Amino acid sequence: MIVNLISLIGLPGSGKSTVGRQLARRLQLPFLDSDHVIEQRLGCSIREYFEREGEDHFRDMEEAVIDELTQLPEGVLSTGGGVVLRPNNRLHLRERTQVVYLNSMPDELFRRLRHDKNRPLLQVADPLQRLRDLYVQRAPLYRETAHFSIDTGRPSVSTLVNTIIMQLELANNV
């Protein structure tokens, strides 16, 4: 069966949105970012909602949005970094889409994100340690959910897109 809905998962800053936009363009598919859909529905930033309502309420909204978006007929879906924390999200992503895990090491992510003030989980005294903790907690869940894992390292976005397309072609899904 050919799957026309591809999901990108990974830690914050792993390139899901950037790579997703380019991948969608190359495959001539719509691009969707679950965090942007959530922000549109909330009428505020995820960071504001996180601070006001807490993570559990945010995860409830995220779960509803993921359930909805994974039922679309086609597209490239960029997800939030914590999407794998809920079992239903993992199930819907894995069963309804081709899931690509953009595997980035915490030190590399810290280099990319150290000045980013819009990521609620990184607004802590030691963001590098926070990224390391998130990696330990989430990497097994990403691997469990993904059909393919791509190590991001330092290749260009176009190289990552080519690698993803090659993996999908090898699996006869493009």
Element (H, E) at 149: strand 148-151
Answer yes or no: is 107 a known binding residue: no
> Does 80 carry a binding-site annotation?
no
Whether 119 has a binding-site annotation, put simply, is: yes
Question: Is 33 annotated among the ligand-binding residues?
Answer: no
Known binding residue 67? Answer is no
Residue 150: partners with Cβ closer than 8 Å, 6 or more residues away:
100, 101, 102, 103, 160, 163, 164, 167
To the question of whether residue 145 is assigned a binding role by annotation, the answer is no
Q: 15 among the known binding-site residues?
A: yes
45 is in an annotated binding site: no
Whether 16 has a binding-site annotation, put simply, is yes
Q: Is 20 annotated as a binding residue?
A: no
Instruction: Tell which residue, 104, 73, 89, has the closest CA to residue 38.
Output: 89
117 annotated as belonging to a binding site for a ligand: no
Pinpoint the alpha helices (H) of the chain.
Answer: 16-27, 34-42, 46-53, 55-69, 87-96, 106-113, 127-145, 157-170
User: Using N-to-C axis directions, what is the helix angle for 34-42 and 46-53, rounded to 10°?
Assistant: 60
Residues marked as binding for Mg(2+)? 17
Residues marked as binding for substrate? 35, 59, 81, 138
Residues marked as binding? 13-18, 35, 59, 81, 119, 138
Residues marked as binding for ATP? 13-18, 119
